């Protein structure tokens, strides 16, 4: 089992960095908004990959990473119109020497809410089933930095904080999320499959709804981007960036990489007093139902 909320901490770091920018005003999916979001993702992932790990083993500097001062420090390094190479954000974490993830969100008629994600990591986990029991064993060991400083299966380059040790729990990108409005009423419920893209997809769904005022269906189906510090690139969904936006981001110094789709992220959002459940339109097998 991953340490509690390790995906949530990274999600909070991204949101915290962006809190001082009015990305809603920059324009939905505009180069400016995507630039600021990608730079926040880059910095949050750099910190995650280097500093987070099982709290029973690693003293995670959460007070620092979730502080206003840290968010301000990150913002101070974000150039208004230029990508920052990941190599400038943090050194590489050093070495001292589908059938994979499932998420569901539920809101019942009493207003009780559940966001739950479970994973066996890669396709069919380790590929080993338990005889007579009907389930596969996971291969979660790849969520550790098996060799600190070298990329895991998702391309995450992580450090000693997340190195393997007996009894230690691996870091996870799972990010089951319940969003409250300023009156502490539930506004949205989210979570996803997709390794590191979970955190960034959940962030974008919430931001699409809150910063850009999109309805839950549009917030979930809108094109997504992903940035995880290393590799130093923005991944975007096929047909998800206009030519002009891609050109502008390239001029800012970004390397862009196309992917078929990013994450599987069903979403529930409240519009007034009505709940809207959204199945992930990118993939079969995602369902939404209302009582």
Find the shortest distance in angstroms from Cβ 158 to ligand DON.
11
DSSP state of 163: B
Cα 14 → chain centroid: 9
Candidate list 152, 162, 173, 207; residue touching ligand DON; CB under 6 A: 173
Q: Smallest gap, in angstroms, from Cβ of residue 9 to ligand DON?
A: 13
* 52 vs 193, beta carbon nearer ligand DON: 193
Rounded to 5, what percent of the chain is helix, strand, coil?
Answer: 30, 20, 50
- Segment lying near ligand DON (by CB under 6 A), choices 39-47, 86-94, 188-196, 276-284: 188-196
**Is residue 158 close enough to count as binding ligand DON by CB under 6 A?**
no
Measure CA of the first residue to CA of the last residue in the chain; give whole Å. 32
What is the Cα–Cα distance from 212 to 70, expressed in whole angstroms?
Answer: 25
Q: To the nearest whole angstrom, how small is the minimum distance from the Cβ of residue 133 to ligand DON?
A: 21
Nearer to ligand DON, 143 or 232 (CB): 143
Asked if 266 touches ligand DON (CB under 6 A), the answer is no
| Chain residues 189-208 in contact with ligand DON, contact rule CB under 6 A | 193-195, 198
Give residue 58's Cα distance to chain centre.
Answer: 22
Interatomic CA distance for residues 67 and 16, integer angstroms: 9
Interface of this chain with ligand DON, residues 63 to 122, rule: CB under 6 A:
100-101, 119, 121
Provide the b/e sequence for 98-113 (b: ≥16 CB within 10 Å): eebbbbbbebeeeeeb
101 among known catalytic residues: yes
**Distance of CA 103 to CAs 115, 116, 173, 192, Å?**
7, 6, 12, 6
Measured from the CB atom, the residue of 31 and 266 that comes closer to ligand DON is 266
Cβ pair 33, 198 in contact under 8 A: no
Report residue 65 as tokens. 């990473």
Smaller CB separation from ligand DON, 78 or 225:
225
Give the residue with the Cβ less far from ligand DON, 118 or 255: 118
Contact footprint for ligand DON (CB under 6 A): 2, 100-101, 119, 121, 140, 143, 172-174, 193-195, 198
Catalytic residue positions, numbered: 101
């Amino acid at each position: 089992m991953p340490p509690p909320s390790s995906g949530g901490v990274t999600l909070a770091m991204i949101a915290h960095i962006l809190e001082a920018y009015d990305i809603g005003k920059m324009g939905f999916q505009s180069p400016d908004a995507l630039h600021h979001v990608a730079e926040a993702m880059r910095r949050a992932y750099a910190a995650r990959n280097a500093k987070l790990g099982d709290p029973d083993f690693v003293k995670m500097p959460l007070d620092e990473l979730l502080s206003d001062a840290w968010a301000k420090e990150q913002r101070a390094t974000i150039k208004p119109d230029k990508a920052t190479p990941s190599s400038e954000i943090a050194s590489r974490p050093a070495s001292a020497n589908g059938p994979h993830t499932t998420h569901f969100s539920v809101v019942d008629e009493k207003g009780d809410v559940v966001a739950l994600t479970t994973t066996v990591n890669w396709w069919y986990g380790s590929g080993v089933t338990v005889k007579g029991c009907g389930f596969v064993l996971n291969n979660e060991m790849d969520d550790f930095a098996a060799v600190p400083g070298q990329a895991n299966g998702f391309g995450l380059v992580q450090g000693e904080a997340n190195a393997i040790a007996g009894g230690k729990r691996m870091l996870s990108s799972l990010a089951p999320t319940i969003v409250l409005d300023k009156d502490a009423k539930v506004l949205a419920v989210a979570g996803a499959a997709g390794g590191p893209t979970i955190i960034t997809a959940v962030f974008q769904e919430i931001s699409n709804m809150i910063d850009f005022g999109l309805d839950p269906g549009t917030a979930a189906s809108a094109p997504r981007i992903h940035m995880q510090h290393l590799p130093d690139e923005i991944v975007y969904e096929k047909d998800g960036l206009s030519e002009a936006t891609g050109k502008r981001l390239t001029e800012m110094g970004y390397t862009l990489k196309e992917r078929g789709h990013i994450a599987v992220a069903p979403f529930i959002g409240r519009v007034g007093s009505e709940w809207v459940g959204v199945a992930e339109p990118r993939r079969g097998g995602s369902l939404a139902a209302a009582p």
